Every structure is written in structure tokens, then in C-alpha cells.
Amino acid sequence: MLHILIGEDDFSINQELEAIKKSAADPAALMPNTTEFDGSKVTPEQLRAVCETVPFLADKRLVIVEGLLTRFEPKKKNGRKKSSRQTDTAEDFTPIAAAIKNLPPFTELVLLDGKLNYANPLLHVLASQTKVSSFPLLKNDQIKQWIEKRVASQSKSGISKKAVDLMACLVGSDLWTMANEIDKLALYTGGRAIEEADVKAVVSNVQEIKMYNLSDAIFESNNIEAQKLLQQLFKQGFVPTRILFALAGHVSLILRIKEMRKKGRTLAELQSMFRPTPPYTVQKAWSQADKYSPARIKEVYHKLLNADIAIKTSKYDNPELVMDILLAEMGQRSSVSA
């Protein structure tokens, strides 16, 4: 059977994939009969050979292919660069479509992908063979309903409306983070209803942590992690100018703390001196000041300022493209100053 799971909500896609696995076979029996492919590289011959191989001591074989449909996405015309997995749409999709057609009854083939254009030729052909399950990012009331449902599955005591509203505001549509924070809240409250004060105590630093993790990834030229965190922030509704403003503020704070430490200031003194900046924020900046040289900190700071200027002067039509260029430039470093 063919399953097509697409969309930006990778948490829900993962949940659906787990449901498919559970319905296919016992985990122990399914493990040796599971094959995963990179959709940008898999050939029709490889796909057909695996799909037609009889499972070993089990009723089902599971084949998971990620990024296959993206490979045949129509070219974009807005100047934004294509995904690294995306190839020229001149590639003929029919051999792949033929390899997927008439799957044996013992094979569960799952195609995983992000947001797609429904003009995608391979998707158009395969949609006639099976239902396409789409998982767009949840918005507004959908997020709040998801929170209530998740809390109900974790605790019988529920969650107050104010707590739900605050959770939605703090975490947004990143369901991986949301699920983790709800699990923490369930433990924190010990069976009673989750209130707004609990959310403030447990979840209030989520966005701050993500922003500092992004600055760490930028400092360390870890473009893959930086892109991942950047996309999470975009999903939460952060616009490039807001992200750049926050990052520049963080980097400026790190540099100031590094300079103050040379004068013998302690962490406690700086936490008091930089009020109303939260103590957590000063502590994180303190640890980053240990890791990076003044030259590296200044370099990152000026790159952020240049990116901000590029957005505000409309140097590029798409502000998100500015962020992509920034990360690409920072990722070109062969080594990171200690």
C-alpha cells in the first residue's frame, strides 16, 4: 500500500508514520524488514527491487522514502534558491511512477515530504493511486485545540484557557517543542490543572533558548543546525527583522559581558547590573563569552547588521533569502576562533 504524507508539520507526519508502523507489524518483526531511502538519490531499480522483496519472517515490509516528490517540484520563479535536494524538473518522473505502481500486498511504501506544489507531476500521478495526507502548520485556534487534546492525553486535570493562550503565544506551531513542554508541565503540576503561572514558570524561556541556540549555531558555522532553528522560528511567526534584532542584541550583550569580565565583574554582579534583562539571559551570554573570541563576536555582529540593512533597504525581494545568504556566508568559515 502507498502512503503519501506531506506538509510543514513534521511532528504530525512523524505521528502518522508511527501509526503506520504499528498497524503494519510487531516492531521486532518490522525492524529487519524496514528500508529507508534518500528520495533525491534513489533509482527506480532500487525502489522496485526493495518493494518486491518478500519480507523475512513477517507479513509486511516497510519502505520509507523522504524527499522523492521534492525532486520533481516545478522550478520556482521568485528567485529563491531551490532546496539542496531539488533537481531539475526536466528529469523524467515516469520510471519512478512505474516502479511504485502495482505494489505487492506485503509492502507498505511511505513517501515523506514537506510543503509541495500540487502541480508536482509525480504527486499528480500518485494521487490517483492513494489518498494524499497533508499536514500544514496549525494556526491560532487549531494550536489551542491541539494543546487541550495533548494535555487531556497526559493529565485528567486539564488546562485553563489562560494557560492555553499563553502556551500558544510562547511556543507557536512548533509541535515538537509544544509536546515536550506539555510533558514537562504535566510532571511539574503533579496531576492538578495546568494554570497560567505554571506555564510562566516552565515555558517562558523557550523562545529565548531557541534564539541563543541559533546564535551558537551561527558562531560555530553550523549551517545545518542554524537552518533548522531558523525554520522553527519562522514557523512560530518570527519575521527576519525580529530575529536579526534579537540576535544582534544577544551578540552585543555577549561582547559587553566579555569586556566587563576583564574588569573582574562576577556573574552575580552582571545579573544585577543588566536588570531588567532576565538572569537566565545574562547567564547564557556569560557562557557564550567563554566560547568565542572578541574578533569572532564582532564579525558575527557586523554580519547581522549588514543583513538587517539589506532587508530594510530592500536589497532583496524576499527577506528570508537574506537570512539564507547570511547563514551561507557564516558557514563558509573553515574553523571557529576559540
CATH 3.40.50.970 fits domain 207-330: no
Residue 86 predicted with pLDDT over 70? no
- Provide the β-strand partners of residue 4: 111, 132
Length of the chain as a residue count:
338
Most confident of 11-15, 83-87, 328-332: 11-15
Residue 85 predicted with pLDDT over 60? no
Split at pLDDT 50, 70, 90, the class of 204 is low
pLDDT of residue 150: 92
Using the Cα atoms of residue 112, residue 117, residue 121 and residue 126 in order, give the sign of their dihedral: positive
Query: Is pLDDT larger for residue 298 or for residue 12?
Result: 12
**Three cell numbers written together for 123:** 504527486
* Average of per-residue pLDDT across 22-33: 88
Query: Is pLDDT larger for residue 112 or for residue 335?
Result: 112
- Digit-coded pLDDT (tens) for 157-188: 899 999 998 888 777 778 888 898 899 898 89
Split at pLDDT 50, 70, 90, the class of 285 is confident
Residues 42/45/48/54 CA torsion (nearest 10 deg): -110
pTM of the model: 0.61
Domains 2-134 and 141-204 share a fold: no
CATH for 2-134 (1.10.10.60, 3.30.70.1050, 3.40.50.300, 3.40.390.10): 3.40.50.300
Q: What percent of the chain has pLDDT over 70?
A: 90
Residue 84 predicted with pLDDT over 70? no
Domain boundaries, given as residue ranges, for the chain:
2-134, 141-204, 207-330
Split at pLDDT 50, 70, 90, the class of 132 is very high
Q: What is the arrangement of strands in the sheet containing 107-113, beginning at the earlier edge strand? A: 34-38, 61-66, 107-113, 2-6, 132-134
- Digit-coded pLDDT (tens) for 219-245: 888 888 888 888 878 876 778 888 888
pLDDT of residue 244: 85
pLDDT of residue 33: 92
Average pLDDT in the chain: 84
Query: Is pLDDT larger for residue 156 or for residue 61?
Result: 61
Query: Is pLDDT larger for residue 288 or for residue 113?
Result: 113
Residue 22 predicted with pLDDT over 50? yes
* Average of per-residue pLDDT across 267-289: 78
- Digit-coded pLDDT (tens) for 248-269: 888 888 889 988 988 888 888 8
CATH topology of domain 141-204: Helicase, Ruva Protein; domain 3 (1.10.8)
pLDDT of residue 26: 87
From the list 135, 138, 88, 139, the residue with the least C-alpha distance to 115 is 135
